[in-house]
Amino acid sequence: MTIFGKSLSEYVRFQKVFLWLILVVGLARLILSLGGVPNSTVKWLSITAVALIGLLYYSVRVHTSGFGSYKHLLPLIVIQSLLAQAISFVAVAIGVLTSRDNIFTAPEYSGGGDGKTWLHANMHLLMGVIVGSLLGWLIGCAIMFITKKVTAGGKGQEAPKSQGRAAGAGA
């Protein structure tokens, strides 16, 4: 299966460090919460924080490494989001099936209401993956745009200067 000319394994290989970090942080967050560690402590393990750092990294690295362009950033963000939201889905499903809150279903982390619902679980997959990925991609594109401008280096900056000098010298 190829996406924008790259195989799924190429995307996964490119982002394997952050995928592992999301998996480890997400599972640690769930296990600690189920183990009775207070939410006030467990909240410091944040899948969102890891995903945002990953987004920043990909947005810069896709261009600087030559991996691709704006379109190649989208599958990276979707894969990352899918993993993060799948962990959240499983955590909410555990809450629904056991009738026990965990950090993913506690009212303070699920909109103020009972987070032990199938609607909440499914919204992670639907809205979390779709809307989260698109918003992440827009942010990532802005970061990549800035990266391209900053890393244009000599080529992008020398041409206007030399053209300006040539025009000024001829006048």
Does position 88 have pLDDT exceeding 60, yes or no? Answer: yes
Does position 1 have pLDDT exceeding 70, yes or no? Answer: yes
166 found inside a domain? no
What's the rounded mean pLDDT across residues 14-24?
Answer: 97
168 found inside a domain? no
Q: What is the pTM of this model?
A: 0.83
pLDDT of residue 109: 80
Give one DSSP letter per residue of the chain, joined into a string. -EETTEEHHHHHHHTHHHHHHHHHHHHHHHHHHHTT--HHHHTTS-HHHHHHHHHHHHHHHHHHTTS--HHHHHHHHHHHHHHHHHHHHHHHHHHHHHT---TTTSGGGTTTS---SHHHHHHIIIIIHHHHHHHHHHHHHHHHHHHHHHTTHHHHHHHHHHHHHHHHHH-
pLDDT of residue 160: 41
Residues 81/136, Cβ–Cβ less than 8 Å: yes
Does position 157 have pLDDT exceeding 80, yes or no? Answer: no
Does position 65 have pLDDT exceeding 80, yes or no? Answer: yes
Higher pLDDT, 112 or 157: 112
Structural domain of 106: 2-151
pLDDT of residue 153: 57
How far is residue 23's CA from residue 131's CA, in Å, rounded to a whole number? 21
Total number of domains constituting the chain: 1
12 found inside a domain? yes
Does position 15 have pLDDT exceeding 70, yes or no? Answer: yes
Across 62-75, b (16+ Cβ under 10 Å) vs e yields: bbeeebbebebbbb
81 found inside a domain? yes
